[in-house]
């Protein structure tokens, strides 16, 4: 069991001493370490069982910290995006300064940085006096955590787990890369492409989806998976196989033979769906009366793009064809 509580000062002390802290952000829980302490960062990979080719996001609390992380020629597009979306769920990948340890960036010459808007995350970074490298606080490839018990379920060897009262967005930050004057969307997330294009109209979507040359491993085709089969719903909800769980995004209007039904929203509201997506998947994963899960699709506009991205990746290995 991980020790949990609300003592941000103690959590900051853990970070300074090179230990790991799980903490809430506005998107999902993060598993943090001092970004300038390579040994502490190495422990993140160990605890998450994450391959070291998968780089981490560095979290900051003040704009001036980008000067220690990015190289000295920071592109104006970075400032434009930061001005529009920080603090908030946007991660900006940009060429890095030599000070950033290789283990943080998996040896890449770029680093991913974001300023979260969650007050607990911001206070933790401030009190630690250092940027905090943090992936989502789940075991590699498994469901992202939006509640303290989700972190407890998957991780051990974490010094402290900061509890959170407020609801989370539920999908991770949007990741963009700014390089050579170009803005490319690497991972759809809490901020939509349309919102980013309002600031940088020529923002393009990354085409590189291959699993070996990793631009952003969040682009792997399979990710965020529950530990039982998950299928995108295509048939009749009253004709599901025995012991099915059913995740809908609207109130249940008809009968179903599912053992368990979870409605993420009563009105197909994308914000509610995102906030409840991982909660629903964790609940189905934990329910011993459920052997496979069926989930409804959502409309792919705005936040729906990131939601469908997570649903496709979570169900990828169970595709019916
Ligand atoms: O909302 C979030 O972003 C959460 C919270 C905790 O901040 N964090 C998160 O981290 O989702 P993680 O490690 O699960 O996802 C980070 C993504 C990965 O897809 C990673 O490959 C990509 O960011 N990334 C990190 N550094 C990169 C770099 N230098 N170039 C390209 N992609 C990078
Ligand atoms: Mg993750």
Band the pLDDT of 166: cuts 50, 70, 90.
confident
Closest by CA position to 190, among listed 60, 55, 310, 69: 310
Which atom of ligand 1 approaches the CA of 27 most closely? 1
Both 12 and 154 in one domain: the answer is yes
Best of 218, 306, 313, 314 to mutate for ligand 1, by most ligand atoms within 8 A of CB?
218
Domain count for the chain, please give it: 2
Boundary residue ending a domain (144, 173, 197): 197
Q: Whose CA is nearest to atom 19 of ligand 1?
A: 218
pLDDT digits (tens, 9 = 90+) for 97-130: 999 999 999 999 999 999 999 999 999 999 999 9
Both 154 and 257 in one domain: the answer is no
Question: Is the CB–ligand 1 distance for residue 112 below 6 Å?
Answer: yes
Q: What is the CATH number of the domain that holds 283?
A: 3.40.50.11030
Q: Is there a domain that residue 205 lies in?
A: no
Question: Is the CB–ligand 1 distance for residue 146 below 6 Å?
Answer: no
Question: Is the CB–ligand 1 distance for residue 93 below 6 Å?
Answer: yes
For ligand 1, the distance from its centroid to the CA atom of residue 66, given in whole angstroms, is: 17
pTM of the model: 0.91
Boundary residue ending a domain (176, 197, 218): 197
Both 193 and 237 in one domain: the answer is no
Both 56 and 168 in one domain: the answer is yes
Band the pLDDT of 182: cuts 50, 70, 90.
very high
pLDDT digits (tens, 9 = 90+) for 205-245: 987 644 334 456 556 677 788 999 999 999 899 999 999 99
Q: Is there a domain that residue 293 lies in?
A: yes
Both 192 and 235 in one domain: the answer is no
Q: What is the CATH number of the domain that holds 114?
A: 3.90.870.10
Both 174 and 263 in one domain: the answer is no
Q: Is there a domain that residue 209 lies in?
A: no
Mean pLDDT, the chain, rounded, equals 93
Both 10 and 134 in one domain: the answer is yes
Both 182 and 285 in one domain: the answer is no
Q: Which domain holds residue 295?
A: 230-318
Both 238 and 191 in one domain: the answer is no
Q: Is there a domain that residue 258 lies in?
A: yes
Q: Please report, for residues 5, 61, 246, the alpha-carbon distance to residue 160 in angstroms, rounded to integers and kept in the order given.
A: 8, 20, 34
pLDDT digits (tens, 9 = 90+) for 46-98: 999 988 888 999 999 999 999 999 999 999 999 999 999 999 999 999 999 99
Q: Is there a domain that residue 302 lies in?
A: yes
pLDDT exceeding 90 applies to what percent of the chain? 86
Question: Is the CB–ligand 1 distance for residue 150 below 6 Å?
Answer: no
Q: Is there a domain that residue 170 lies in?
A: yes
Both 65 and 9 in one domain: the answer is yes
Residue 263 has φ and ψ, to the nearest 5°, of: -100, 115
Both 110 and 189 in one domain: the answer is yes
Q: Is there a domain that residue 56 lies in?
A: yes
Both 158 and 274 in one domain: the answer is no
């Amino acid at each position: 069991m991980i020790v949990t509580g609300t003592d941000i000062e103690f959590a900051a002390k853990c970070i300074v001493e090179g230990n790991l802290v799980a903490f809430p952000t506005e998107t999902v829980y993060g598993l943090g370490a001092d970004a300038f302490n390579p040994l502490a960062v190495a422990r993140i990979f160990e605890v998450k069982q994450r391959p070291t080719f998968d780089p981490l996001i560095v979290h900051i609390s003040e704009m001036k910290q980008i000067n220690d992380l990015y190289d000295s020629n920071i592109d104006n597009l970075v400032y434009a995006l930061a001005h529009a979306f920080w603090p908030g769920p946007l991660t900006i990948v940009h060429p890095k300064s030599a000070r950033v340890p290789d283990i943080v960036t998996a040896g890449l010459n770029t680093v991913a940085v974001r300023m979260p808007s969650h007050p607990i995350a911001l206070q933790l970074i401030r009190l630690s006096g250092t940027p905090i490298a943090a992936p989502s606080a789940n075991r590699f490839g498994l469901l992202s955590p939006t509640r303290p018990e989700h972190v407890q379920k998957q991780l051990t060897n974490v010094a402290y787990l900061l509890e959170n009262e407020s609801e989370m967005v539920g999908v991770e930050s949007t990741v963009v890369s700014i390089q050579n004057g170009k803005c490319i969307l690497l991972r759809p997330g809490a901020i939509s492409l349309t919102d980013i294009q309002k600031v940088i109209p020529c923002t393009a979507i990354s085409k590189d989806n291959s699993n070996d040359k990793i631009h952003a491993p969040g682009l792997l085709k399979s990710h965020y998976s529950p530990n039982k089969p998950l299928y995108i719903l295509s048939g009749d909800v009253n004709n599901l196989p025995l012991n099915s769980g059913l995740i809908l995004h609207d109130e249940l209007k008809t009968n179903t033979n599912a053992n368990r039904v979870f409605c993420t929203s009563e009105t197909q509201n994308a914000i509610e769906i995102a906030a409840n997506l991982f909660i629903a998947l964790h609940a189905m994963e934990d329910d011993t009366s459920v052997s496979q899960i069926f989930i409804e699709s959502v409309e792919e506009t705005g936040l729906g793009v990131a939601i469908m991205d997570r649903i496709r990746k979570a169900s990828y290995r169970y595709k019916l064809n």
